[in-house]
Structure 1
Amino acid sequence: MRSFSFLTKMTIFGFLLSTLPVLFIGIFSYVTASSEIQKDVNKGKYQLLVQINANVEQILTTVNHTLNQVINSNVLKQTMNSPLNVSDFKLYGNLRDELLHMQSFDTKLEDVVLINNRHNWMIKNSGLYRFDQYPYHEQLTGLIDSKNDTSWVMNPSAWFYSEESADSSRCEYSISLIKKLPVTERNPYGLIMANIPSCSLQALLQYDPEQSDTTLVLDDKHHILLHPDHSMIGKNVSVVGFDDDQKLTGPSGQFRSLLNQQEYSVTYYKSPSSGWIYLSFTSIASLTKESKKIGIYTLVLCLFMLLVTMLLAWLGSRKMYSPIEMLLKQMNVRTPEIRQKRKNEFQAIGEQIQQLFQSKTRLESELQQYLKQVRTLFLAKAFQGQVKNNELTEQLERFGYSEQLQAWDVMAAVTIQIDSLEGTRYEKQDTELLLFAIHNMIEELIPEPNRLGSVTIDHTVVTLFGSTSVENVDFKTALFELTEHLQQQIQSLLELTISIGISLPFESMTQISLAYQEGLDALKHRLKLGEGIVIQYENLNQGKHYLNIRYPNHLENDLVDAIKLADKEKSKELLHCFLVPVFSAEMSPQDYHLPLVRLLNSMLVVKQESGISLNQIRQGKGSLFEELLKLNTVKEIEDWFWNKVIQPMIHIFADRQDAQYHNISEKMIDLIHNHYDTDLSLEDCATRLNYNANYLSSVFRKETNTSFSEYLAAYRFSMAKKWLRETDTPVKDIAARLCYNNPQNFIRSFRKLEGITPGQYREKHVSS
């Protein structure tokens, strides 16, 4: 069976991993989008019906309100008790004006009919009629005899037009608000009708001929009140093919129904005030058409995503395979060879890594040997003082001596030399071999936790012995017994006489080079004491360590920094700290001149590098070095350095700082004067001047004896007072210009500063 490469497997897996989610997302998106379209359309239709109901109810409420005003008017009350003869012409005119006033664009009324059955008259737009002679007398009388005192009903528009103007009716039906009169009597004998042509409310349906949905309004008997088609008004809703009117029972709802053999989504809303039913029919076919569009878009997008994801999968597989390919190239493994052996890339890499591990083991064993040599070389340098103190402990920990460094409280250097080869069975050329043998015996006889590795330096074997013993006497006793035992073993096994020198005990690893010198000095006393001795340096130098004065470089560097910063107190303190270790060492008077001359030379170098001439710190003639060498006491030397060299340099550096501070403060003041009417801050000044904000704050306070914020606020108030005196600018505009968020904050601050408000300040100075 053919073995596919790992790249092919990753690519196939990437294709599958990218294809399945895209297909799932595409199908899910299509189904979800179709469902959401249905929900959104139904929700939109419901909101539309509610809006239409609100618009219609607003008109009906307005009509009802205006009609009530007419009913309660004195003119109507007087008219209902009058027969309206020729003598009542003025009363008729007033009443007609009241009725015509109701017919406005907002109410959409076209006619208001007033009937008085008792006095046998009827008034409408076309004039005054005898009620019993009106063509639709019986129909209108039936309205007077109806049970409801107030109601909205749909009537034929022909009832309200006389024969002379019967063709003026735009709509076949009108929606009438009927109220019986008088309203205060139990047996009313008249009525007033406000007629709205149903066609005039058609615009409220928001009908769009290009859409396949329909909106209509039904009364409580399911007759059509409003419909985009005028011919449908007044008929039962069944004429549009809707037979599920029995489902219109709740206050609102949505369901599916068949209209003319086509499926529609039906949304209805029943008005709580009038009881009218607002219906919306939406074709399911149109929704499906939109869903098909979404499906096409989804399919195209999914195909695009598939191509992109497959491309990314291929590129990603190539990218992830590139390290494997690089490893194979570096290991010189060819892909055809892998396929011939029916292996995959990782098996081939694993075999190569196994070989590398085997090589690593061999290299580690060889490296261990080299490590011993490097460690021996480092210890030799440490004993000879060629390693910096700050690196000594760190390097010892790297070479595996961290446990000894943490456990030891006291240490001492042990130096061993062969006394002589005369009278022994060894020749001079055997010296290196004998020293190597002594080296091995030291490492065998002294436990590893109590020593560092022994090294050979100039025919001297040296090692460092350490112990946790705090008592000095116990440490010396143990060390002396150990060295005597070592000497005896070497005498017994090698038949060789050796001498051992032991340094003074010390506690810091930084004294390892001094201890080595002490051990060598102890061995020099074989001239007096003879061969085969074990001698401690303590017996030769009264218990004092080997003298090795080191120049205090770190104190000199700190002193130079303090002088450059013009810090007098710190400079004087560091000068004293520098001279203390110099004069505390036991040296001849001539030896003290060396560190003093070196310090003076360093000061002169700093002077020259800083561009300070000798005349600036010294007015007289002669050599500074000659003056220094003539001084005899420590006090004179310290005062001379301070007064003649260091203090003059501090004055020069201080003057330079003052000039720099003054320049910086002037720049900050200039920024305040030019940008006080902006949101200027200390951080903005620091950004513009390229300085640290804390540094600028300290410099500004030192130069002006005030803070940046206080100076800015004071300058803003000075400008505010100037504007109040010289201009008519409103206080709120001044506050805004001075970056106050609230004028009241400016007024409070001004009153706190001046004791009066800005307005009072302006009046005071304008009047004066």
Structure 2
Amino acid sequence: MRNHSYLRKLIIFGCILCTLPVIFFGLFSYFQASTEIQKQVNRGQMQLLTQMNSNVEQTLRTVNHALNQVVNSSVMNKVLSEPFSSSDFMLYKDLRKEMSGTQSTYTKVEDVVIVNFNQNWMIKNSGFYRFDEYLHHSQISNQLLLPSTTSWVLNPSIWFYSEEKANSSSCPYTISLVKKLPDQSLDKIALAYANIPTCSLAELLNYSPRESETVMILDDQERILFHTDASMIGKYATNTGFIKTDTELEKPKGQFQAELDGQLYTASYIRSSYNNWVYLSIISIDSLTQESKKIGRYTIWVCLIIVAVFVVIAWLGSRQMYSPIQRLMMQIGGRNLQNGSEPVNEFDIIGDRLQDLFRSKTELEQEAQRHLQQARSYFMIKMFQGTLRRSDLLEKLEQFGFGEKMNEWKVLSVITLQIDTLEHTRYQKEDTELLLFAINNIIEEIIPAEVRLQPLFIDQTQVTLIGGKSDDLPEFNSFIYAITESVQQTVDQVLGLRISIGISLPFTDPKNASIAYKEGLEALKHRIHLGGGVIIRYANINAGQHHLHLDYPFLTESELFDAIRLAEESKARDLLKKLMHVVFEHHMSPQEYQVPMFRLLNNLLLAMQESGIALNQLHTDGSSLYEELNKLPIAAEIEEWFWSRIIKPVIGIYEDRQNSEYQNISEKIIDKIHKFYDTELTIEQCASELHYNANYLSGVFRKETNMTFSEYLTSYRFSMAKKWLISSDMTIKDIAEKLQYMNSQNFIRSFRKLEGMTPGQYRETYRKMN
């Protein structure tokens, strides 16, 4: 299947996947059904045998009971204990009467025979006989040797012939209930027989064997008492061919398989606990499997139909599942790639296209990595230039993977490196950036990554931030100096360049990286009198103090302007105080302080102009604000002047604008309440219609009315309720429903809580007053 298209493979696989389970479950269900049928038949046979046993035993017990009555009767005792002859007509008549009571259609007893060996007589249906003159007296005499006093014995019917049917018995064997008499004496002198023809057993069984079924009843000697084939009666069970050994019928009940003439049979038997007879049913396995074969035919047809349905489903499903691959092939331009009659391997084509995509992905990842490096470099440039807020700085450090290092470092320092000159070297001026890039690589190799951030160059200066895990400053300073010496020597050896390095003062706050960068640049300026190829510590040129030039707090200024625009007066006052503190904490001359103050004033005026606020709105008398500021000598006065002269009036203007907007919003909400108070009106619905956030709208309404939306709505509804109670005949229930109460009781409770009386009392009180 290597040369087949994927669609064909999918269809074939789907057909196989559908067909094999159906065939498997079909065969499984067929064999299960066959086995279950056989089990059901076997169970049914056991039930039938139990029923046969019950029917026959019930009759045999009845015969036994009837014969017991005869042998225990007074007449029987008399004829056994006293001389009895054919001339004792009355006694014979009474005895015959007792004997005839045993015979009935139900019990199938054909003859009752009494034999007295001591008195040498025998009585049966056909009359009174001298026993020694009876034809079969010797055979009958031998039965006095039976081991039990009561026995069921299979005897030839000829033993009990009658004269009118002599030697022509219709049933060759008789089942005799033999009792030794007297019953209570150890010395047995007589026998009593109740004879049932074996031909009568069929009626007692009341069962018609099925085709190929053989039913047998065996006595305790395993002689056949009943057989479907009457010619087998009287023979032993082993003569049937079904039973090979005597041990097969040892258990109280059971089943086994037998083979006769090459055909298999299943046999079920049950042994009677009453007289140890065996009831046996033997049936051909082929006849049992007729139903199984019919089920098999049905199963084949059902499986064929299911297979056909699933093949169609597999074909349709395969085409449906193939459609994404087909669309993918069309999208990647592989639908017309079939060469001649050779089938197309779609996945080879898709694999080739994916390889192209992976190559493109690798290129994009490399490009993204370059962009990431550029983003890191841009972030660090902004960090060294001091244009990031503290929160943004810390967030970016984490984002770019520097957070763990910064958390571990206890002390930081910035080194700045510049090339002294390119004169008398093999390089040209245009090689400067390439040389800085090479120096960057040298620094990356010399300085371990765990003690530095990414090195970069800014305006012809290579800058690296280095950190230490120990707060031992002498040790850290020695480490920094050793690193810079190694860098300087390596650059000289590899590139043949003289460089100078500036080292900032140690610091701990990452926000101070911009100050440290300026300190490094300031240290490098001292090459004017120190010459090139030097390593200069800022600590050696500024008595160990940090950079004195003012770092203008433009971030605080930006936050101040935001607070002014939002009319947040207290926040604006705090930010102004913070900005003034940052400016005036530096020790500068009065002229130097003017620069940040004029800058702040200029930025405030620009912000006012952008917001459409004119200078005359600040209530100026025509004098110059710059001149007013220049006349102020004390920092506290300057802060107060900014606040009272500019910032607070501007906040007032912004606040008036907001109040005007709030009032307009509140009026619209109130108008909606007055119009739709009798509906399920909510603040969310008003917010949706007015295109505002629900929380914002709720805050504005509360600020303007000193009431929540629900409080105002409830108040207005109660005012309307009072009006209707006074001026109309509306029922309390109607008023409650109109005002959106779930039931009138809730309305009454709320009205009583508000007015101190029920709505009905309010209406009655008002009418009495009028």
The equivalent residue for 1:6 is 6
Deviation at 1:419, TM superposition (A): 6.3
The equivalent residue for 2:508 is 507
The equivalent residue for 2:600 is 599
- Equivalence map 1:273-312=2 (5 Å): none
Q: Name the TM-score, length of structure 1 as normaliser.
A: 0.53
The equivalent residue for 1:736 is 737
The one-letter amino acid of 1:451's match is R
On the 8 A contact 2:11/2:315 being kept in 1, the answer is: no
The equivalent residue for 1:555 is 556
Query: Separation in 2 of the partners of 1:559 and 1:379?
Result: 25
Query: Separation in 1 of the partners of 2:383 and 2:678?
Result: 71
The equivalent residue for 2:478 is 477
Deviation at 1:382, TM superposition (A): 6.2
Deviation at 1:538, TM superposition (A): 0.7
On the 8 A contact 1:15/1:313 being kept in 2, the answer is: no
Deviation at 1:586, TM superposition (A): 3.6
Q: Cα gap change, 1:4/1:655 in structure 2, threshold over 3 Å: closer, same or farther? A: same
The one-letter amino acid of 2:760's match is G
The equivalent residue for 1:168 is none
Deviation at 1:581, TM superposition (A): 1.4
Aligned residue for 1:335, secondary structure, equals: coil
Q: Deviation per CA, 1:544-572, whole angstroms, max 9, x where unpaired?
A: 22345343333333323322333322222
The equivalent residue for 2:718 is 717
Query: Separation in 2 of the partners of 1:400 and 1:667?
Result: 52
Query: Separation in 2 of the partners of 1:691 and 1:543?
Result: 57
Q: Cα gap change, 1:344/1:548 in structure 2, threshold over 3 Å: closer, same or farther? A: farther
Q: Cα gap change, 1:18/1:589 in structure 2, threshold over 3 Å: closer, same or farther? A: farther
Deviation at 1:535, TM superposition (A): 3.1
Aligned residue for 2:730, secondary structure, equals: coil
Query: Separation in 2 of the partners of 1:350 and 1:522?
Result: 60
Aligned counterpart in structure 2 of residue 319 of structure 1, from 323, 326, 330: 323
- Equivalence map 1:176-255=2 (5 Å): none
Q: Cα gap change, 1:349/1:653 in structure 2, threshold over 3 Å: closer, same or farther? A: closer
Q: Cα gap change, 1:385/1:755 in structure 2, threshold over 3 Å: closer, same or farther? A: closer
On the 8 A contact 1:558/1:574 being kept in 2, the answer is: yes
On the 8 A contact 1:324/1:345 being kept in 2, the answer is: no
The equivalent residue for 1:447 is 448
On the 8 A contact 1:724/1:762 being kept in 2, the answer is: yes
Q: Cα gap change, 1:746/1:476 in structure 2, threshold over 3 Å: closer, same or farther? A: same
Deviation at 1:603, TM superposition (A): 2.6
Query: Separation in 2 of the partners of 1:372 and 1:664?
Result: 48
Deviation at 1:636, TM superposition (A): 1.9
Of 647-656 and 443-452, more deviation after overlay is shown by: 443-452
Deviation at 1:735, TM superposition (A): 1.8
Q: Cα gap change, 1:558/1:715 in structure 2, threshold over 3 Å: closer, same or farther? A: same
Deviation at 1:477, TM superposition (A): 2.3
Aligned residue for 2:523, secondary structure, equals: helix
Q: Deviation per CA, 1:112-149, whole angstroms, max 9, x where unpaired?
A: xxxxxxxxxxxxxxxxxxxxxxxxxxxxxxxxxxxxxx
Query: Separation in 2 of the partners of 1:482 and 1:573?
Result: 44
Deviation at 1:404, TM superposition (A): 4.0
Of 383-392 and 598-607, more deviation after overlay is shown by: 383-392
Deviation at 1:358, TM superposition (A): 7.1
The one-letter amino acid of 1:324's match is L
On the 8 A contact 1:376/1:455 being kept in 2, the answer is: no
The one-letter amino acid of 2:687's match is A
Give the share of equivalent positions with the same residue, in percent.
Answer: 48
The one-letter amino acid of 2:324's match is M
On the 8 A contact 2:7/2:319 being kept in 1, the answer is: no
Query: Separation in 1 of the partners of 2:373 and 2:696?
Result: 54
Query: Separation in 2 of the partners of 1:545 and 1:664?
Result: 54
Q: Deviation per CA, 1:29-57, whole angstroms, max 9, x where unpaired?
A: xxxxxxxxxxxxxxxxxxxxxxxxxxxxx
Query: Separation in 2 of the partners of 1:369 and 1:688?
Result: 48
Aligned residue for 1:337, secondary structure, equals: coil
Is 1:335 matched with 2:348? no
Deviation at 1:511, TM superposition (A): 4.1
The equivalent residue for 1:579 is 580
The one-letter amino acid of 1:479's match is I
Deviation at 1:540, TM superposition (A): 1.0
Aligned residue for 1:587, secondary structure, equals: coil
On the 8 A contact 1:338/1:348 being kept in 2, the answer is: no
Q: Deviation per CA, 1:400-445, whole angstroms, max 9, x where unpaired?
A: 76664454332223345566899x9x65669979878866654444
Gaps of 5+ in 2: 22-305
Q: Cα gap change, 1:399/1:338 in structure 2, threshold over 3 Å: closer, same or farther? A: farther
Bigger Rg over Cα: 2
Q: Deviation per CA, 1:173-227, whole angstroms, max 9, x where unpaired?
A: xxxxxxxxxxxxxxxxxxxxxxxxxxxxxxxxxxxxxxxxxxxxxxxxxxxxxxx
The equivalent residue for 1:621 is 622
Deviation at 1:475, TM superposition (A): 0.8
Deviation at 1:740, TM superposition (A): 1.7
The one-letter amino acid of 1:3's match is N
Deviation at 1:336, TM superposition (A): 1.4
Query: Separation in 1 of the partners of 2:713 and 2:373?
Result: 70
Query: Separation in 2 of the partners of 1:562 and 1:678?
Result: 40
The one-letter amino acid of 2:4's match is F
Query: Separation in 2 of the partners of 1:580 and 1:592?
Result: 12
Deviation at 1:320, TM superposition (A): 0.8
Q: Deviation per CA, 1:735-757, whole angstroms, max 9, x where unpaired?
A: 22222221122222222233332
Deviation at 1:509, TM superposition (A): 4.2
- Equivalence map 1:66-215=2 (5 Å): none
The equivalent residue for 1:518 is 519
Q: Cα gap change, 1:732/1:521 in structure 2, threshold over 3 Å: closer, same or farther? A: closer
Deviation at 1:611, TM superposition (A): 3.3
On the 8 A contact 2:14/2:318 being kept in 1, the answer is: yes
Deviation at 1:469, TM superposition (A): 1.4
Of 484-493 and 646-655, more deviation after overlay is shown by: 484-493
Q: Deviation per CA, 1:330-379, whole angstroms, max 9, x where unpaired?
A: xx785313963x66211343355457767877x59987996899599759
Q: Cα gap change, 1:528/1:359 in structure 2, threshold over 3 Å: closer, same or farther? A: same
Aligned residue for 1:631, secondary structure, equals: coil
Deviation at 1:537, TM superposition (A): 1.1
The one-letter amino acid of 2:663's match is H
Query: Separation in 2 of the partners of 1:749 and 1:383?
Result: 64
Q: Deviation per CA, 1:67-122, whole angstroms, max 9, x where unpaired?
A: xxxxxxxxxxxxxxxxxxxxxxxxxxxxxxxxxxxxxxxxxxxxxxxxxxxxxxxx
Aligned residue for 2:502, secondary structure, equals: strand
The one-letter amino acid of 1:319's match is S
The equivalent residue for 2:697 is 696
Alignment RMSD (CA, Å):
4.7
On the 8 A contact 1:559/1:574 being kept in 2, the answer is: yes
- Equivalence map 1:359-378=2 (5 Å): none
Gaps of 5+ in 1: 22-301
The one-letter amino acid of 2:477's match is K
On the 8 A contact 2:456/2:464 being kept in 1, the answer is: yes
Query: Separation in 1 of the partners of 2:563 and 2:365?
Result: 54
On the 8 A contact 1:383/1:513 being kept in 2, the answer is: yes
The one-letter amino acid of 1:610's match is S
Deviation at 1:659, TM superposition (A): 3.1
The count of residues paired between Structure 1 and Structure 2 equals 483
Query: Separation in 2 of the partners of 1:657 and 1:443?
Result: 56
Deviation at 1:323, TM superposition (A): 4.4
Query: Separation in 2 of the partners of 1:675 and 1:365?
Result: 60
Deviation at 1:504, TM superposition (A): 1.2
The one-letter amino acid of 1:337's match is N
The one-letter amino acid of 1:762's match is R
On the 8 A contact 2:598/2:626 being kept in 1, the answer is: yes
Deviation at 1:598, TM superposition (A): 2.9
The equivalent residue for 1:676 is 677
Deviation at 1:670, TM superposition (A): 2.7
